[in-house]
Chain A
Amino acid sequence: QQQVKQSPQSLIVQKGGIPIINCAYENTAFDYFPWYQQFPGKGPALLIAIRPDVSEKKEGRFTISFNKSAKQFSLHIMDSQPGDSATYFCAASPRTGGYNKLIFGAGTRLAVHP
């Protein structure tokens, strides 16, 4: 059972564009939603995370939008750069009783062309 659905699978944008990656979840017990960035040959690294008590969170050029009623959240990358080319994973975790276990989406491979 895929509890976190992520789209698109891959995305190509030009430098300066705003790629948007979407995720949807099913389990209403989820209440912690991190995004991870992974470069080839490396482990995932946390990019930004959000709790459902806020609808938006910004950190630098990265923004998470959260729609609790629709059970959807998305990552926006402003003024994208070639160095942002990586695979991005959304994830979800139940805050209580979940032991911080993460359920990952399938990933989105982003290419930012110069």
Chain B
Amino acid sequence: NAGVTQTPKFRILKIGQSMTLQCTQDMNHNYMYWYRQDPGMGLKLIYYSVGAGITDKGEVPNGYNVSRSTTEDFPLRLELAAPSQTSVYFCASTETGIPQDATDTQYFGPGTRLTVL
């Protein structure tokens, strides 16, 4: 299993450009998440999905959009890039929405480092 994969690894955008961050998991997990990580800060939840066709906002959704047409893929869309969106973006997935023990953990991808100039 490749686990959670993210592309691209790095990207530089100009203000106002748009792009899609790709996330794919091969573990057949229903639950998927997008986080951003700013320097010296923990991870903040942007959007999450509990299954194909079902998405909802997290803590910091403004400026982003998501879709979930398949179980495997959960792309994150930035429509009008702003410098405040410079961050490292992580996608994660998990099997269950009710964690019982460590096996119900979220598995994270390697991240996409985005810079908006």
Contact B110 A42 (CB under 8 A): yes
B48 cross-chain contacts in A, Cβ below 8 A: 99, 101
Q: Given contacts A95-B99, A99-B97, A100-B97, are A45 and B108 in contact (CB under 8 A)?
A: yes
8 A Cβ contacts from A1-56 to B: 4, 6, 9, 32, 34, 41-46, 48-49, 51
Interface size on A, residues (CB 8 A): 29
Instruction: Provide the bound-state CA to CA distance between A38 and B105, in Å.
Output: 15
Interface status of B94 (Cβ within 8 A of chain A): yes
Of B42, B45, B97, most buried by chain A (CB within 10 Å of CB) is: B42
Interface status of B15 (Cβ within 8 A of chain A): no
Q: Given contacts A49-B102, A89-B42, A101-B33, are A43 and B110 in contact (CB under 8 A)?
A: yes
Interface status of B106 (Cβ within 8 A of chain A): yes
Interface status of A93 (Cβ within 8 A of chain B): yes
Q: Given contacts A34-B102, A46-B102, A95-B99, are A101 and B45 in contact (CB under 8 A)?
A: yes
Tell me, rounded to whole Å, the shortest Cβ–Cβ distance linking A31 to chain B.
9
A72-106 to B contact mask, C-beta < 8 Å, 1/0: 00000000000000000101010110111111111
B101 cross-chain contacts in A, Cβ below 8 A: 49, 51
Contact B42 A104 (CB under 8 A): yes
Q: Given contacts A100-B104, A100-B106, are A44 and B97 in contact (CB under 8 A)?
A: no
Interface status of B74 (Cβ within 8 A of chain A): no
Of A48, A89, A100, A107, which one neighbours B99 at CB under 8 angstroms?
A100
Contact A43 B108 (CB under 8 A): yes
Contact A100 B94 (CB under 8 A): yes
Contact B108 A44 (CB under 8 A): yes
Least CB separation from B97: chain A residue: A99
Least CB separation from A45: chain B residue: B108
Of A43, A48, A95, A96, which one neighbours B109 at CB under 8 angstroms?
A43
Instruction: Provide the bound-state CA to CA distance between A105 and B40, in Å.
Output: 10
Q: Nearest 8 pairs between A and B by C-beta?
A: A104-B42, A43-B108, A46-B105, A49-B102, A32-B99, A99-B97, A104-B43, A106-B42
Seen from chain A, the residues whose Cβ lies within 8 Å of a Cβ on chain B are: 4, 6, 9, 32, 34, 41-46, 48-49, 51, 89, 91, 93, 95-96, 98-107
